[in-house]
Amino acid sequence: MKTIVKSTLSPCLASQPVAQEWYDFMRTQCHAEVGDNLRQEQQFLCCYCESEIGEDDSHIEHMVPRSIHNNLTYEYSNLAASCNGGAVDHCGHFKDDNHRNPGYRYDASKFCPPHDANTCRLFSYLSDGDVIPAQGLSQQDRDKAEYMIGYLGLTCSRLSGRRHSHAKNLIQTLGSNPDAELVQWAMDYYLTPSSDGKLKAFISLSRTLLAQ
């Protein structure tokens, strides 16, 4: 999970009525503006799974659910851009869906937001597409990692398959004994934003493979 560096507040949020329903807000220009800001600051990756996202396949995510703290509905620090999770089997739409994700509920003591720099160290990404708690964690942090993986559906078969394919392609590109120029090219391609500020998907997995 890539660390998100939060930018300044979108000015239009400050003028939203406190009691305004979120679904009414979704029809405003401010909603579109906030969505654009979030995608740009996340370099067009989902805040949770690191899939590439655009306007048509992402949504504004409340990290602390509105049902828990309605006063954070228009708090920019609580907003992120999440992918739509395919058939709603991972990430933002999945995490608080009581029918698709009945075993998990929001737990403030375990939820680790992606803009917290400590969150990314909780996870390890494997070449078979799996994501697991990182080695050497305290029991408390291991519990947090396991909670986040389950709460967000990060090991669903669809997402794991995409990570596996990504790892396979990168490993095949590098070969068994890559020279320094090829490794540098791969680092530039997979880890560096393009001229329009976009990163390639699954940057944490790419970083792991390129460090080996």
Confidence of residue 8 (pLDDT cuts 50, 70, 90): low
Q: Within 13 Å of residue 151, how many CA atoms lie on the same side as its CB? A: 21
- Average pLDDT, whole number, for the chain? 94
In residues, how long is the chain? 212
- CB 119 within 8 Å of CB 1: yes
What pLDDT, on a 0 to 100 scale, did the predictor assign at position 11? 83
What are the extents of the domains in the chain? 11-210
Amino acid in the structure at residue 100 = R
The alpha carbon torsion through 111, 151, 92, 44 (nearest 10 deg) reads: 70
What pLDDT, on a 0 to 100 scale, did the predictor assign at position 115? 94
Model confidence over 20-36: pLDDT tens digits? 999 999 999 999 999 99
| pLDDT over threshold 90, residue 37 | yes
DSSP 68-130: T-GGGTT-GGGEEEEE--TTT-SSHHHHT-TTT-TT----TTT---TTSTTGGGGEEE-TTS-
Model confidence over 65-120: pLDDT tens digits? 999 988 899 999 999 999 999 888 999 999 999 999 999 999 999 999 999 999 99
Model confidence over 180-195: pLDDT tens digits? 999 999 999 999 999 9
